[in-house]
């Protein structure tokens, strides 16, 4: 790293340290001790880092990936749809979207209200790792450092009992030099400096979101010179962070997991406006369309059973559109081969069918995205959401052992294993209902040095 870069990084770190005096904190009641954890865990999510882009631009992470004692070179699979909110929710719960309920970045609640963003804390249908850690006796201290402001809202307190992390760093804590003016996202350098500050409080678990790769890949395209330079810069910052954390006495047995919430696709064709497409087919009044990058949720204004014929017409029109790779029903359609075109029938491994999922889920072909023609997303040079953007790296460093079944690692597996590494039980549904085994991730052996067997399965 050049002297200029080191100096710039030092200035950001100093500014963050000063600003972090106001970092959000939820202290335990006076006299209530936190549990002592010999092997803390850090989960670092490099937002938008496609596994295909690691080797060329990130030499430090590539070396760690290949030389890790645990599943060297392991590829993970992001949850579908491959969107930020979906996968942060999956990583923080260890269950699939069908269970935690975050099925996209946006959705329609099937009411008179228009579609809205999905991913605030109150939207969860299950607990998160932060809630489970706070309920432990004694509680485990947790921390959150995020480059995107919305992720602080994802892990806020709610009336349903969601607990916030004990210590939080978000872009509002960054100096102006550590925030992107256009998006309000914190730079990776500022976020990692904030995470270092939070580690001084000795958390058992810290979740870190790095936003630079995602931000630049959207704006300039994932294969642009700007995106390549950003990945190189993130690699340097991340390598320094990992070295610093694992050198701390309290982290001699600790584990740092580096992964991503989704990959990226370059947008090389005009955006597909599904609302306009259905309007031209005379079907607009029957549906509410919610575009979400590489997928689009199409909701019928009637029940799916009553709308079977119009849903079939919408599906046929969508498949005739260039750039639409798949069109799948949430429920069976008696007018269109019954179960043959259902999401769960075609892609049983997606685990995304929930009342919040569109009655018809459209998926793009590579190079395409769904967006309203007059919306900001129509002009993005990179986007994500489709299956092609689910290939992500999974790198485990520190207190790890050799792993097994390394060929098929899902985001839900990582999330559930983190709970086990901390000796915590699985998350529970907020309505008290059961979570079937197929809706949970599996436990990844060797990822940490604590007794994963202490995790208590959901009844």
pLDDT in tens, 353-367: 999 999 999 999 999
Residue 4's pLDDT is 44
Find the mean pLDDT for residues 245-266.
Answer: 96
Q: Give the neighbor-by-neighbor strand order of the sheet with 167-169.
A: 24-25, 167-169, 142-146, 205-210, 41-46, 255-259, 395-398
pLDDT above 70 (res 194): yes
- Phi-psi bin for 31: left (phi > 0), alpha (psi -120 to 50), beta? left
pLDDT above 60 (res 234): yes
Q: Which two tokens stand for residue 423?
A: 């000796």
pLDDT above 60 (res 9): no
Q: Which residue has the tokens 């590539």?
A: 62
Q: Which two tokens stand for residue 66?
A: 């290949």
pLDDT above 80 (res 52): yes
Q: Which two tokens stand for residue 171?
A: 């872009």
Residue 178 CA, distance from chain mean position: 22
pLDDT above 90 (res 453): no
| 292 vs 18, higher pLDDT | 292
Q: Which CATH architecture has domain 274-379?
A: 2-Layer Sandwich (3.30)
Q: Which two tokens stand for residue 52?
A: 């295909």
C-alpha R_g of the chain: 22
Q: Which two tokens stand for residue 233?
A: 């810069």
Residue 456's pLDDT is 38
Quickly state the pLDDT bin for 305 (edges 50, 70, 90): confident
Question: Domain ranges in the chain?
Answer: 12-266+387-454, 274-379
- Per-residue pLDDT tens digits for 312-326: 999 999 999 999 999
Please state which CATH class domain 12-266+387-454 belongs to.
alpha beta
Find the mean pLDDT for residues 105-130.
Answer: 97
- The torsion angle over the Cα atoms of residues 258, 263, 266 and 272, rounded to 10 degrees, is -150
Q: Which residue has the tokens 């050799």?
A: 402
Find the mean pLDDT for residues 430-458.
Answer: 78
Residue 178's pLDDT is 97
Residue 405's pLDDT is 81
Nearest CA to 399 among 34, 36, 132, 37? 37
Mean pLDDT across the chain, nearest whole number?
A: 92
Task: Print burial letters for 321-353: b (CB count within 10 Å at least 16), e (below 16).
Answer: eebbebbbbbbbbeebeeeebbbbeebeebbbb
Least confident segment among 3-12, 19-28, 91-100, 344-353: 3-12
Q: Which two tokens stand for residue 432?
A: 């008290």
Strands (E), 9-159: 24-25, 41-46, 75-77, 106-107, 116-117, 142-146
Residue pair 198/25 in contact by the 8 Å Cβ criterion: no
Nearest CA to 358 among 276, 310, 308, 291? 291
Q: Is the pTM of this model over 0.85?
A: yes
pLDDT above 80 (res 450): no
Residue 304's pLDDT is 85
Quickly state the pLDDT bin for 162 (edges 50, 70, 90): confident
């Amino acid at each position: 790293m050049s002297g200029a870069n080191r100096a710039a990084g030092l200035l950001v770190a100093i500014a963050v340290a000063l600003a972090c005096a106001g970092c959000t904190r939820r202290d335990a009641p006076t006299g209530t001790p936190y549990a002592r954890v010999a092997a803390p865990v850090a989960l670092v999510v490099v937002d938008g880092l496609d596994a295909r882009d690691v080797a060329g631009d990130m030499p430090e992470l590539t070396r760690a990936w290949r030389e890790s004692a645990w599943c060297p070179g392991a590829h993970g699979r992001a949850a579908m749809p491959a969107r930020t909110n979906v996968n942060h929710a999956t990583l923080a719960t260890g269950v699939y979207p069908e269970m935690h309920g975050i099925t996209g970045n946006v959705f329609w609640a099937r009411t008179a209200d228009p579609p809205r963003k999905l991913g605030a804390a109150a939207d969860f249908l299950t607990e998160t790792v932060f809630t489970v850690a706070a309920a432990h006796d004694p509680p485990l201290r947790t921390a959150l450092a995020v480059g995107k402001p919305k992720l602080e809202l994802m892990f806020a307190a709610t009336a349903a009992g969601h607990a916030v992390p004990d210590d939080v760093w978000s872009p509002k804590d960054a100096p102006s030099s550590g925030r992107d003016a256009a998006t309000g996202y914190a730079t990776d350098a500022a976020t990692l400096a904030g995470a270092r500050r939070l580690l001084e409080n000795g958390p058992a678990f810290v979740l870190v979101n790095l936003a630079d790769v995602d931000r630049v890949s959207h704006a300039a395209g994932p294969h642009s010179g700007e995106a390549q330079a950003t990945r190189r810069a993130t690699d340097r910052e991340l390598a320094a962070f990992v070295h610093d954390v694992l050198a701390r006495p309290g982290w001699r047995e600790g584990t740092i997991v580096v992964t991503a919430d989704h990959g990226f696709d370059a947008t090389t064709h005009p955006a597909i406006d599904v609302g306009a497409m259905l309007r031209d087919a005379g079907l607009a009044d029957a549906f509410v369309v919610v575009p979400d990058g590489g997928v689009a949720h199409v909701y019928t204004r009637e029940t799916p059973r009553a709308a079977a014929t119009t849903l079939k017409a919408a599906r046929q029109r969508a498949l005739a559109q260039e750039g639409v790779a798949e069109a799948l029903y949430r429920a069976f359609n008696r007018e269109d081969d019954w179960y043959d075109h259902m999401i769960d029938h075609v892609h049983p491994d997606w685990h995304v069918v929930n009342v919040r999922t569109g009655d018809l889920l459209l998926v793009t072909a590579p190079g395409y995205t769904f967006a309203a023609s007059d919306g900001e997303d129509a002009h993005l040079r990179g986007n994500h959401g489709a299956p092609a953007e689910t290939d992500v790296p999974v790198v485990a460093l520190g207190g790890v052992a050799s792993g097994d079944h390394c060929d098929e690692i899902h985001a839900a597996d990582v999330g559930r294993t983190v709970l086990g590494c901390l000796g915590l039980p699985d998350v529970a549904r907020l309505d008290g209902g059961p979570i079937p085994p197929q809706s949970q991730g599996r436990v990844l052996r060797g990822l940490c040095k604590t007794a994963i067997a202490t995790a208590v399965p959901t009844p």
